[in-house]
């Protein structure tokens, strides 16, 4: 299926491709709207989902009922700060290690993906806490 060239999709892609903060569709919408005032939130959302289907972006579910889009399409973990809500990438795990880990725990199937979200307090918030004390 050939995809029709879309300037709007290009604008959405340009906005998200270098972002590391896992923006929701609303954040992308606010950003893209600066250059495309007539774009709708629905259009932005559809284009994000399309980019995801195309394998150019991924998404993270942190249980807040919003899809957080991710320009990093390699397998990685996330850290969610419960104070400021920052969601950032971590790269401490890898597929072979995950497989060995599960083998050691008695699992003999094949691991194809994983989703890990650590939560706690980020460096910035910790620093602020220390300054306040
Ligand atoms: Zn924080
Ligand atoms: Zn990520």
CATH code of the domain in which 103 resides: 3.30.1490.190
Do 3 and 61 have their domain in common? yes
What whole-number distance in Å separates Cα of residue 20 and Cα of residue 95? 22
CA-wise closest residue to 29 among 86, 67, 73, 82:
67
Q: What is the pLDDT of residue 3?
A: 47
Do residues 54 and 7 both lie within one domain?
yes
Residue 3 Cα, ligand 2 centroid: separation in angstroms?
Answer: 26
From 38, 55, 73, the end of a domain falls on: 73
Of the residues 27, 42, 73, which one is the last residue of a structural domain? 73
pTM confidence score: 0.84
How far apart are the CA of 81 and the centre of ligand 2, in A? 14
Q: Which ligand is nearest to the CA of 123?
A: 1
Whether residues 101 and 47 fall in one domain: no
Q: Does one domain contain both 17 and 63?
A: yes
| pLDDT, position 5 | 56
Q: How many domains, in total, are found in the chain? A: 2
Cα-to-centroid distance, 132 and ligand 2 (Å): 30
How many helices (H) and strands (E) the chain has is answered by: 5, 5
Report residues of the chain scoring pLDDT below 50: 1-3
Enumerate residues with CB within 5 Å of ligand 2 (an ion): 70, 72, 89
* pLDDT score of 1: 39
Q: Which CATH number do you get for residue 58? A: 1.10.10.10
Shared domain check, 78 and 50: no
| Side-by-side strand order, sheet with 117-120 | 87-90, 77-81, 117-120
Question: 8 and 66 share a domain?
Answer: yes
Same domain, 84 and 108: yes
Tell whether 32 and 63 lie within a shared domain. yes
Q: How much is the pLDDT for 2?
A: 39
Range of the domain at 44: 1-73
43 and 7 fall within a common domain: yes
Asked if residue 61 lies in contact with residue 51, where contact means CB atoms within 8 angstroms, the answer is: no
Say how many Å lie between the CA of residue 79 and the centre of ligand 1: 10
């Amino acid at each position: 299926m050939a995809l029709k060239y879309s300037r709007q999709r290009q604008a959405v892609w340009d906005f998200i491709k270098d972002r590391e903060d896992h923006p929701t569709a609303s954040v992308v919408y606010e950003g893209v709207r600066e250059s495309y005032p007539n774009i709708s939130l629905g259009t932005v959302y559809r284009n994000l989902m399309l980019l995801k289907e195309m394998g150019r972006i991924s998404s993270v579910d942190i249980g807040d009922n919003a899809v957080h889009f991710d320009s990093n399409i390699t397998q990685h973990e996330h850290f969610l700060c419960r104070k400021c809500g920052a969601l950032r990438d971590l790269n401490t795990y890898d597929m072979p290690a995950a497989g060995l880990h599960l083998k050691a725990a008695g699992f003999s199937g094949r691991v194809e993906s994983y989703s890990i979200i650590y939560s706690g307090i980020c460096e910035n918030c910790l620093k602020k806490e220390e300054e306040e004390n």
